[in-house]
A and B are shown apart, each in its own frame.
Chain A
Amino acid sequence: MATVREHVQNSLKKGKWIRSTCKMCLHSCGTIVHVTDDGIINKVEGDPTNPSNNGKLCPKGNSAIMRHYDPNRIKQPLKRTNPEKGPNVDPKWEPISWDEAYDIVARELKKALDDDPRKILPSLEHFQKMNVWNWPLAFGNQNSFQSGGTMCGGAYHPMNGYIHAAFAVANDALHCNYWINDGTGDGFSSHLHAAAQANWVADARIKRGMRCVTIEPRLSTSAAKSEEWIPIRPATDRHFALGLCHVMVTEGLCDYRFLRKDTNAPYLVGPDGTFVRNADGKIYVWDTESNSARLWDDPTVGVDRLALEGTFQVEGKECKPAFQKFRDIVDKCTPEEMEKVTTVPAATTRRIAREFARAATIGATIDIDGRTLPLRPAAYNYYRGAQGHKHGFQTNHAFKMVNFMVGNIDTPGGLCGVTLDDQWIDKNRIIPGENGMILPQPHQLGPLPPFQYPPSTYHLLNYFPVGLHPPHLNLVVFENPEKYGVDFKPDVMVIGHSNPLWAMQGPREKWFEFMRSMRFIVVCDIIPTETTMWADVILPSHDALESWNMTMIEPPHTEGMCLRQPVVEPLYDTRSEEDIMSELSERLGILDAYNEVINIVSGFHHKPELLLQPGRKYTDREIAERKGLLWNDKPLDWYIEHGHAVTHRRSDKFYRPWEGMRLHFYIEDMVTIPRDLKAKMEEAGVPFRNEWCWDDYQPLPTAVLDPVHSEPPEYDLYGIFFKEIQINFGESLSNPWIKDIVYRDPVHIALILNPKTLEKQGLKSGDIVRVDSPTGRIYGRVGASEGMHPDALGVSNSLSRIKVRHATVAHAGGHFNDLLPYDLGNTDAVTGQPETVCKVKLTKLDDWPEPLKQGLLVYDIVDEYQRPGKVGSH
């Protein structure tokens, strides 16, 4: 009888497969995890039964095992014994028991709570566990000190809330034929469920011949795969979009029916920027047939009779349809004028606009699930690179307008709203608003604190009624608290699942001072990071292969809960994040309040039998179980077996769920909200009210330049940063498998300049430079690429780590974010969106500065890979 040789390939070794959900970025691709009979996890693959990612996984997902077995993982609670704090200072950790750790943390937090709950500064950004993220609401605290989601989404999310009542947007890969990416890598490298979307988009391109166009300063993956790359000067994408609108408006290429019927474009706007209303508050439109003003819901006026253009007199006021107001703006945004700003040739703008409009097949329809829907297979997608600017709200609005022009909002083939977490299957995100319009829902991540002076939040969130979070303003206030009337100083930080010292913008040195000003810092994490270096106590949490969760995170084409379940017992003396937060809550006397926060945030009120009861702590498993039941009434055992309840997005929820209502083409809130805010600031005597950027509030996008363009001319280049699929949406450079592929990739190993720019600057590839912006400075080594706009300096995020006590993380020349402005002048007054581009100048150096000469630099690793010396390291 032949003996069976033991398998050597890991997926075939004796063991079992467990369905779970990936956690290497913030999204939720389905996985199957193989654990051997000896209890070793030795393979992670995509779950082929999950229609979202169809068995695919990106490189980050494939590297999960090396996070789990990272020998640098924090194995038990640690207490700092060295009072000195700094990026290279040894904290001299002392291992302590959980009891002692909880005692210390609860004691310090209680001091702050009893004194002033505003003195706690949390950074708990956990997209997959909103119940953890929102813990501070249990004591009424809305401070925030983490920047995940603000550089990429500060204005993006509120605008999506206005237009789609959704969190994110995606081009509809199922039907789109002309896919534009502006400053985003959707479908190729980034954003929504990278591996899943790459699969959808690849099929669309190859099987359906979908054409892709990418606008961005750099030849990104998206640009490389597109049929056309349109290089653009950084921070000018809004102007390109306005140029496109100009062409479509002036050449009559728009979906006028959509504008008349499905938006507030025909609503008449008065001289003060608000809609013209009658005494009952109903809005007027102009009927071109009777040549008179009528109410918007007048049943005798057919939609096709509504005026979109013209100037009219109504009740003694001169007014125009909102579309005319837009036309007044874009008439001046000729492609020639826009070319001066963007460097995109006018002819290209005209051609793209015409191609786009033609591909949209205005007037065509398609039948889906028994509904006849407009078919608009052309869509303009955009994300961080394009939207992350001072005038973020207007910028996002301009991109929406390109889509409005062809009537593709939430339409098959068009730009569709993508919800974050539907919570239960039949939840319809659309809420009717006034005057036939949908209710705008800019606060996609929960309610904001109301206006208050002195402010109740350290980062001035009380003055951003439309916003997300402007966490960089913590530094602004720290530098000048009297100016902002802040009458408290946070001195306790609660940090979990985030690495603000790696992510925040502004010079690291200033953030170090901010950290030093804290009395007590507790950090909950898995591996040593730039931030754990500053902790007084570290509470280690389970990793994603040891814990429970139930989540749905903005999947573009699918919906449904995904289960994360433990594959092995925890390797070390760690706890789940839920255990940590509920234990602390109990000790602080806020457990009931926290349970209620979880109830609200998770949506358990919809099925009251799921509500967390007062007086009890709930585990991650119990909360996951409830979220599953909430979604489809299936118990946890069902999810344990199936792994997920993912289906394709229901077409009635995905396509035009607002059918019969009108979208906000014109955002009247941008007139009424600042008026209201100004009045409140006046009444409260807010000292900085006259410096507030009131002009940022615009009901329609304008061609105002972002202030980054007005920096002193000695700063002659635009600094941009980027990631790509190996390193986006999460920390992965500590992972040896990711390090293996990143530091061998030409785009991730140098500060990139166009070769002609390199020459003009008097530099050669390989030169060491100092990069200065008006805000900060970094160092690096330059390299050339034809795939870079001549005005730009491209800095990969791979070059932004600081050396910490983790073996594989090497120091580069400083964090790009040090260069970014963090002041109010470069912040969108509407949303808190910070500017993510900076002007820089380069100075050639003969050698690295002293501090960088010590220890391993990223560039040393890169050089080692370029010149392999040993057999076996090939």
Chain B
Amino acid sequence: MKKKSNYNQSIRDKVDQVEFTYDAADWNALSKKLPTKGFPMLGKVSIAIVATALISFVTYFSSQGENKELIRQQPSPEKQAEQQSQLVIKETNNETFAEEITPTKETKAQSENPIERTNPETSLSQIEKEIGDKNIKSVEIEPKKRQSISNELIVPKLQIAESVVCFGERMEIKTDYPLSTEQTILINGIPAEKEVLANKIGGNKIQLLDNNVIIDEQQMQVLELPDASFDFLKKEEQFAQINYTFEAKTSNVSYKWFVNGEPAGNDKRITKTYKRKGNSTIKLEVINKKGCKSFIERDITIEESFDLLSYDAYTPNGDGLNDEFIPKAIAANDLRFTMTIYTPSGIELYTTNDYYQPWNGRRNNNGEMMPTGVYLWKVLVYDDEQQAHPYKGQIKIVNLE
């Protein structure tokens, strides 16, 4: 047994204790979607009705001598799959029902297979009575059951819409006639629904079995999806910004890049420049020459601390050289920011959010000149989501007279 921890066990125990109160409305909703619409009483005898009605059906059409043609007009397998119903009951008049059910009596002795399905204890009169009680007048049987009776008449064939599909796509497997319960579809030897997702690359063997005898076989090719993975190729730090290069691992496909949902190029590699911390979603969509498409989306977080490129010391003496202080990267990357200057004891000296108004060494930029010494600066850089990223450092006023 797999080793699972205490933690897993305690989660499991707690979840197992959860109780949901039964909601009858859920059952009502479900029961409407189940076969044999809304006549629970009929359930017990439905098999019998189906079987008897079937016989009448077969007899009726055999007598017409053109059974095959008529059965062909039945709903398509697809439609039938949706119906799922064993029995469709229509309101017409009493006479019709009587007519349809009458041939049953005659055929009952001759036909063997279907009779086995009938409940021997349920006599026809009982059925008639029950149906009469429910005021149901005509019974039309679902194609699926007809099919099982008319096995010897019709051998269903596989109908495969597309013999080549991409991995992960739906493999639509249909048959020209509805399947009976004895007939199954195997994909690579495993029983399958009519619609499955392609999950085996290469040739896939689709077989149609009737009582474990192969009656039809076809191949479906499942193509590999192109690999949409990509690498963070390199990271270049330039002047207060970082370049990420993303490169697809696969060649010879067409590429579509998206950064945060915006198209960002159609080459094998793209470069994206980041100027500040933040998150970014990179999506690569690739389509190969056979038309198979896949994509990968990755969230990346830019966590590098960007150097604001501040300097350590300046000389606000009005000589035109190094007279003002502001970290250079703010201007270079057009960042939205707030810069505050403090004395070493924490008294605020100046605040600005305009690059063109750097600190000139005076209190509030218009008061008295501050003495030489160390001052503290704090910069908040705002990203696109108005998130503030703090930076701080020291700046020394040196007086070079």
The answer to whether A and B interact is no
